[in-house]
Amino acid sequence: MSHATSRSDLPDLGAQLLALLGKLPEEVRPRLLGRLEEAAADRYRAWAAETADRELARGLDACADREQAIAATVAQLFPERPEDKTAIEHILPGIIDGYRATLAARMLDDQFAMQAAAERRGAATWRAMAQRESEPARRERLLHCAKLEEDSAELLERTIAHAGKRSG
């Protein structure tokens, strides 16, 4: 893991999210996480649109595609029930606004480091869900989500490392 993603001076978005998830019933949490994957896809697309580096933009767009794939998988595995929608809609905007505000206050490499750490925590979350899953096909799909999260984390970590080599 890149040094930048383990810096203790950066907020741990994943830990903050876990505290908020604790306020929801366990069966609602995957659906909320799926909706947050969609928000992360939007953030990746914004980063891609903001960079002049076309290779990086393609990589960030690929991250967005992975986030959308995770969200679609979660929607299929954990269909949203009408009674859950209210709980999710109540908490979702605050989480997204807090995420955006936290990132906006940081330099881009710090934003990438925080997002990479969140991707790693997301991968661990999908793996934990997979371990509790008794149906092999569902377990494999959750493990695939974990892999997609790790792929995005790796791209961000490589980008940070590459930027450090250019400036160092």
Is the confidence at residue 4, as pLDDT, over 50? no
Q: How large is the average pLDDT for residues 115-128?
A: 94
Q: Which tens digit of pLDDT belongs to each residue from 88-112?
A: 888 888 888 888 888 888 999 999 9
* Maximum mean pLDDT: which of 10-19, 58-67, 94-103, 118-127: 58-67
CA dist 157 and 71 (Å) reads 22
In this structure, are residues 91 and 24 in contact, taking their beta carbons and an 8 Å threshold?
yes
pLDDT above 90: percentage of residues in the chain: 63
What secondary structure does DSSP assign to 98-140, as a single string?
HHHHHHHTS-HHHHHHHHHHHHHHHHHHHHHHHHH--SHHHHH
Q: Which tens digit of pLDDT belongs to each residue from 44-54?
A: 999 999 999 99
